[in-house]
Amino acid sequence: MTSIQWLPLCLALLWAGIASPPVVAATEQGEAGAPLALRRLYADGLTVPRESAEAMVWYRRAAEQGNAAAQYQLGVIYFFGEGVRPDRVSAYMWFHLAGANGYAAGVPWRDRVARDMSPEQIAAAQRLAREWVEAHRAGGK
C-alpha cells in the first residue's frame, strides 16, 4: 500500500478520534506506505500530539524503504533544522537521494543547498549518498 493509499485510513482515524495502532502495525509488518502516513500523523499533529522526533523516526523508516517523498522531507528537516540542528551535508544527501529516486523537487533543492556549502562539504555529502545507496542495495539497512 502506498502512502496515498494509507491517507484515507489516517483521516478515518483522525475523524474517529482514534490513535494510529493499525498504521503502526502495518509499518512493523513492512507495508511500504505506512511509515510516511504515520509520519504525517506525528509531524502534523493529526491524531497524536505534534512530535518532531517521532515524525523523524517514521520519515527515516519510509526513506529506508526507498520512499523518495520521505527522503525529500528528511532533506527539508535537515535544511531548516526542524527538530534537529540544521545540517547542510545531510540535507544535500537526502535531497540528492530523493532526486535520484524520481522526486523532482529533490534536485533543485540539492542545488540550492550546494550554493551554501564548501567543495569539501559537497564531496562529503556525495560520499554519504553513495554509501547510503550501496548499503541499501546490498540489503544492509
User: Residue 3 pLDDT > 50, yes or no?
Assistant: no
Q: In whole angstroms, what is the distance from residue 116 CA to residue 44 CA?
A: 29
H-run or E-run covering 21? helix 21-28
Quick one: DSSP state of residue 48?
A: S
- In this prediction the pTM is 0.66
Domain boundaries, the chain: 1-65, 69-141
**CB neighbours of residue 25 within 10 Å:** 11
pLDDT at residue 116, as a whole number: 94
**Mean pLDDT, to the nearest integer, of 7-19?**
45
- The residues, ordered by sequence, that sit 6+ positions from 68 with a Cβ below 8 Å of its Cβ are 97, 98, 101, 102, 103, 106
User: Residue 130 pLDDT > 70, yes or no?
Assistant: yes
Contact 19, 47 (CB under 8 A): yes
* Burial (0-12, 13-18, 19+ Cβ within 10 Å), 136: middle
Report the percentage of the chain scoring pLDDT > 70. Answer: 59
Quick one: DSSP state of residue 2?
A: -
- By C-alpha distance, which of 137, 141, 81 is closest to 113? 81
pLDDT classification of 119: cutoffs 50, 70, 90: very high
Q: In whole angstroms, what is the distance from residue 18 CA to residue 14 CA?
A: 6
